[in-house]
Amino acid sequence: MGARAHARLGREGGRLNGEGGAGGTEVAVPPEADGWRADRALAHALGLSRARAAALFAAGEVTRGGRPLAADARVAAGDRLAVARTPASAAVPEGAPTPERLPLRVVYEDDDLLVVDKPAGMVVHPAAGHREGTLVNALLGRGGPLASQDPQRPGIVHRLDKDTSGLLVVAKEERVRRALSDLIARHEVERTYVAVVRGHLPAARGRVEAPLGRHPRDRLRQAVRGDGRPAVTHFAVLEQHARGAVVECRLETGRTHQIRVHLASLGCPVAGDPLYGTAADRRSGEGQLLHAARLAFPHPRDGRPVVCESPWPERILAARDRLRRGLDPLAPGGADAGARGSGA
């Protein structure tokens, strides 16, 4: 049976590959937790404190492949962690996100999932300092079912950074979320971005293969590290100008900040990037000029192709227009609207 068939949902509506026994649960390690300690990954997936998750491991209640799992074992995206009993604290976590009626652009929807176009500046799910105004709050305010394995992140399959705009897929049922996570882990989801960068890329097209891990001194940043997780980004220069370029990037893997770190490693940081850009970028307050423009995947129910595209947002078009005029991509003042094309 092919990889795509493994990811499809059963038409009978039963459980997909099992969800644990009575009183228990099964957690699929999400892509962003690839390479994490098992206790951290479980806490992240169930909305638990690290101490509560560690207690479950200490009690021998967490297994992988039917074997007891140590708290400090490393897990991979798509791994299934079985918990003998569902922690009570996972059912209704303190500070669960609240519904909010917020503008939300939906570009595709069916009975199983939806694809949304997230604006720059919106955090995907509640976290410290961002309890309101997130994509999750907007999804809850919109109404309708959402996958609920993680009450803090209902429906969320993958994430975009706060200042990255564009397309994300959201699952309405837990088995759909697991199937989509499996597709991402097997590199069957096409994620294409457009970025405005500084400098000149070394080639018109290329492939960056550089492992990524936590920066040794700054926990907010990622870095290219020999002991990091494998990471691959494909790029193609759409327009090259004196002060920068417009670049299309396609993810082969999906590590934290991957495109931002890989482009910066080539000497071409994303314009406006407060973590990997220039001093001017950090002062600008603009945020990285990065947009998830295309999302394509086989539908988890029947394998039919789902292809979604998002037009380039105004800030990407404005930065491109400045480059065409020989200006810095973040130069103050308006751009020449007459010079604009259709974007993507």
CATH number of 3-91: 3.10.290.10
Marked catalytic residue, from 34, 39, 161, 281? 161
What percentage of the chain has pLDDT greater than the value 70?
85
| Domain locations in the chain as residue ranges | 3-91, 105-185, 190-339
pLDDT digits (tens, 9 = 90+) for 261-291: 999 999 999 999 999 999 999 998 899 999 9
> Could you check whether 105-185 and 190-339 share the same CATH topology?
yes
10 Å Cβ neighbour count for 282? 14
Query: Which H or E run contains 292?
Result: strand 290-298
pTM of the model: 0.72
Residue 297 near residue 306 (C-beta atoms within 8 A): yes
Residue 295 near residue 262 (C-beta atoms within 8 A): no
The pLDDT-based confidence of 86 (bands split at 50, 70, 90) is low
The pLDDT-based confidence of 337 (bands split at 50, 70, 90) is very low
The pLDDT-based confidence of 92 (bands split at 50, 70, 90) is very low
- 3-class secondary structure, 231: coil
- Catalytic, 161? Answer yes
CATH for the 190-339 domain, from 3.40.190.80, 3.30.420.10, 3.30.2350.10, 3.60.150.10: 3.30.2350.10
The pLDDT-based confidence of 57 (bands split at 50, 70, 90) is confident
Which range is least confidently modeled, 37-46, 109-118, 255-264? 37-46
Higher pLDDT, 179 or 3: 179
Beta bridge partners of 271: none
Distance (Å, whole) CA 340 – CA 29: 42
Domain 105-185, classified CATH 1.10.3720.10, yes or no? no
Residue 195 near residue 160 (C-beta atoms within 8 A): no
Amino acid 61: pLDDT? 86
